[in-house]
Structure 1
Amino acid sequence: MTDIIRDIDEEMRRDAFLSRVRRYAWVFLLVVVVVLVIVAAGYFWQNRQASMRSAQASELSSALTLADTDAEAARAQLEALIAGSSGGNAIVAGFELAEIAARAGDTESAAAALEALAEARGGDAYARTASLFSAYTELDTAEPASLLARLDPLIAENASFTALAMELKAQVLIRAGDQAGALALLDQLLARDGLTRDVAGRVQALRDSLSAGG
């Protein structure tokens, strides 16, 4: 008798379970469908991103090839690439755009391209490099105040670009007629640890020429 009751109880539990499964089967099916859609979307996005990167790399290569034969066409391709990307290809395109302008003697456009790159990168190493090169590009033409506005933040951070920024700032001060300020800055730079031989040699030569002229 006990076995019969246990069998009936198990049968009732099985029927109740199957009933719940049938009732909520659509929920399980929906979850499976959603998961499959998410996975498929992820694969699609990854493939799309890879395709875009490949296309951008191809466009960059084409622009770099054109740079020596058709600067205008190369410039147009580089500008389009910069507008449609923010990754490594856009960084290379920004520097190349500045180089094309500099080779043509258009230092203002070269500096503008570098400043645009610096602003787009927001303050990373590429932004600091672009700011430094933009100041170097316009060292003999831009207003001293504009140059100092680009160099002073690099000096203040006391990092990898500081020594070069100080060297350029000394030249800006000389242009502005502040020889005493330039000498003080050069002395401060020569006292820094870790100066490369090339930088130290240039700085010392500049300081010696200032002292001889003063």
Structure 2
Amino acid sequence: MALTPQNNEAFLREVDEELRRDNVTNFWRRYGLLVAAAVVLGLAALAGWMIWQQRQAAAAGREGEALAQAIDSLSKNNAAGARASLDALATSETPGYRAVAKLAQADVALQSGNRAGAAQIYQSVATDAGIGQPFRDVALVRATAAEFDRLPPATVIQRLRPLAQPGNPWFGSAGEMVAMAELAQGNGAAAARLFTAIANDAAVPQSIRSRAVQMAAVVDAGGQAPAAAAPTPAAAPQETAR
């Protein structure tokens, strides 16, 4: 007996559902273990990532406390009390803590008169590609200031020229050293232009601007200049990133 259109549609639906059940059954028979393993591995990876995040947060908290204690010791002129914390933080996997700890170590070395040691630590920050550029810039400025007397003028110019540009946060400190290096090489006109630019830059700290005004006034426009004293390492920290 022929099927009516309604019965035919019902039959086709039953066949389609049966095929789907068979396909699902066959799929799980073939790939069920693989799917289950993938789910377990995914959950394990998620759990591992969450545990790692918690450990990182806990470690960051401990490092933050250690840095705060070290800074408190330094503020009380207790460098010995800060040494252990700074030594540990100087190898931190967190770039910010590592940078601050090393800069503090270098400052302590500088205050104790160890310019060479301070310059070496500053340089380690300046060349650390994992540390943010602002930290690296300040380290380069301070390293150059610490060893200015021992560096060839050409090296000073090469190091700091990228920072000795109007608009750069370290224009004043870097520009002052570049200008004095130009003087040492007999380039009085170039030095005068740079001193004048520093003196006219309202964003540069007033102490550096005042020195620049004085130097610009005494530099002979024809290139002859009086002997210039080297900047002190303390000059660099007076300028802060904007």
TM-score normalised by length of structure 2 = 0.70
Contact 1:114 1:130 (8 Å CA) reproduced:
yes
Task: Tell me the CA shift for residue 20 of structure 1.
Answer: 2.1
Pick one of 32, 36, 40 that aligns with 1:29: 36
Task: Tell me the CA shift for residue 155 of structure 1.
Answer: 3.3
Contact 1:114 1:134 (8 Å CA) reproduced:
yes
Q: Structure 1 residues 10 and 173 mapped into 2: Cα distance closer, same or farther (>3 Å)?
A: closer
Does 2:99 correspond to 1:91? yes
Pick one of 162, 171, 175 that aligns with 1:166: 175
SS of equivalent to 1:83: coil
Does 2:212 correspond to 1:190? no
Task: Tell me the CA shift for residue 210 of structure 1.
Answer: 4.2
Counterpart in the other structure of 1:126: 135
Q: Structure 1 residues 109 and 8 mapped into 2: Cα distance closer, same or farther (>3 Å)?
A: closer
Does 2:63 correspond to 1:78? no
Q: Aligned partner of 1:46: which letter?
A: Q
Counterpart in the other structure of 1:65: 72
Pick one of 191, 212, 227 that aligns with 1:203: 212
- C-alpha distance after superposition, 1:88-126 (max 9, x if no partner): 111211221111112212222222211111111478222
Mapping of 1:171-182 within 5 angstroms?
171-174=180-183, 176=184, 178=185, 180-182=186-188
Task: Tell me the CA shift for residue 191 of structure 1.
Answer: 4.3
Task: Tell me the CA shift for residue 127 of structure 1.
Answer: 1.0
Task: Tell me the CA shift for residue 149 of structure 1.
Answer: 4.3
Contact 1:75 1:100 (8 Å CA) reproduced:
no
Pick one of 113, 132, 151 that aligns with 1:105: 113
Contact 1:167 1:186 (8 Å CA) reproduced:
no
Contact 2:119 2:143 (8 Å CA) reproduced:
yes
Aligned residue pairs total 210
Contact 2:198 2:212 (8 Å CA) reproduced:
no
- Measure the CA separation in 2 of the matches of 1:15 and 1:54: 54
- Measure the CA separation in 2 of the matches of 1:11 and 1:169: 82
Pick one of 41, 45, 50 that aligns with 2:52: 45
Task: Give 5+ residue unaligned stretches, structure 2.
Answer: 227-242
SS of equivalent to 1:93: helix
- Measure the CA separation in 1 of the matches of 2:151 and 2:18: 91
SS of equivalent to 2:48: helix
Q: Aligned partner of 1:93: which letter?
A: A
- Measure the CA separation in 1 of the matches of 2:156 and 2:17: 87
Task: Give 5+ residue unaligned stretches, structure 1.
Answer: none
What CA RMSD, in Å, does the superposition of the two structures yield over aligned residues?
3.4
Contact 2:109 2:115 (8 Å CA) reproduced:
yes
Contact 1:170 1:183 (8 Å CA) reproduced:
no
Task: Tell me the CA shift for residue 182 of structure 1.
Answer: 4.0
Q: Structure 1 residues 191 and 149 mapped into 2: Cα distance closer, same or farther (>3 Å)?
A: closer
